[in-house]
Amino acid sequence: MAGQRAERPLPAQDLDHVLGATAGLWPQLDGARLFITGGTGFFGVWLLETLLAARERFGLDTTAVVLTRDPAGFEAKSPHIASEVTLLEGDVRSFGFRAGPFDYVIHAATETSARLNEEQPLEMFDGIVTGTRRVLDFAAQAKTRRLLFVSSGAVYGRQPLDVSHIDEEFTGGPDPTDVRSAYRDGKRAAELLCAMSPVETAIARCFAFVGPGLPLDRHFAIGNFIGDALEGRTIDVRGDGTPRRSYLYAADLAIWLWTILLRGAPMRPYNVGSERAMSVAELAHAVAKSVEPPVRVEIAGTPDPSKAPERYVPSTRRAQQELGLAEQIGLDDAIARTIAWHSDSR
């Protein structure tokens, strides 16, 4: 990553939003040591930057150690974060244990590459499962009070077509004979490891998100659409545009993850995401009109009215009722904020 341009800090209004909604949580972290995997990714940057903002605003004596395979790359990408935490070089499957104790552990490290899942499913599965076991063993010896495992809504497998919003009580799962389920089954196996561990663990099953820092050149549809719009390119939807998705803004995501870590019931998974479903075609048009001048949208396929659309939309009733969580920033605003941040970072 030599010569990589540093990313801008997250927007001040977003940091204020997170700290305002979580003010009552931060005293629990005063004097605490945190160990975080996946801290250099999209989720991790939001967690770290909100933690650092809370440390400054509330005068917390909180320290964080962040596991990363590429400390120099992270220092180049996010120097404003790297200078305020301790970076530990290592792979999540084999990193050396640091001297403890660590009060809290956040395990958010997962390779989300669709290409890796397709071409090297065993590597994908092993990275999730072996990495989670390593982190759980580390947390046990570090006398960790509580661990947050960042899981995925993928553990449910394909959402039944007659289920508009899938909840945590759904007992179906991925096809275990389909190697394309490596990511999904890896997350399921990792949750099982958490259940077997003596470490008190909270689980966040995450769906789809948008916000500053989201990669614009990966397999995330909304990221690709925003990347096309920023370049003035036509947004090409490869399928028929009917699959239904929902997107939670990253500032709300950070609120949910900190709340689940500190208040979620142990081994009681919480879906994390938006309940506001829309088709991929509707999403493409929403992004297209968010730039000036608006860009075109082309949809490759033709919808078949006899087929119900595929869905990936959570029910978040449990998080709402038990933890008081809610989606506070709507999608149009979320897209606008994401576009503005990426525009300013160019």
- Per-residue pLDDT tens for 44-77? 999 999 999 999 999 999 999 999 999 999 999 9
**Across 125-130, average pLDDT:** 93
Percentage of the chain modeled with pLDDT above 70:
97
Q: What share of the chain is helix, strand, coil (3-state, %, to 5)?
A: 40, 15, 40
Instruction: Render pLDDT for 21-49 as a digit per residue (tens, 0 to 9).
Output: 999 999 999 999 999 999 999 999 999 99
Cα atoms found within 13 Å of the Cα of residue 83, Cβ hemisphere only: 6
Conformation bin of residue 3: beta by default, left when phi > 0, alpha when psi is -120 to 50: left
pLDDT on residue 2: 43
Please state, in angstroms and rounded to a whole number, the distance separating the CA atoms of residues 290 and 229.
8
**In the CATH scheme, what is the code of domain 12-212+247-276+313-329?**
3.40.50.720
Answer yes or no: are the C-beta atoms of 254 and 16 closer than 8 Å: no
Average pLDDT of 287-292?
A: 97
Q: Can you give the pTM of this predicted structure?
A: 0.96
- Band the pLDDT of 176: cuts 50, 70, 90: confident
For residue 110, name the pLDDT band (cuts at 50, 70, 90): confident
Please, what is the average pLDDT of the chain? 94
pLDDT at 285: 98
Given a cut of 80, whether residue 111 has pLDDT beyond it is no
- Structural domain spans, the chain: 12-212+247-276+313-329
Average pLDDT over residues 8-19: 97
Per DSSP, 187 falls in state H
209-244 pLDDT per residue, tens: 999 999 998 878 999 999 999 999 999 999 999 999
Q: 337: closest CA among 293, 294, 287, 285?
A: 287
pLDDT single digits (tens) 259-288: 999 999 999 999 999 999 999 999 999 999
What DSSP string describes 238-285?
-S-S--EE--EEHHHHHHHHHHHHHHSPTT--EEES----EEHHHHHH
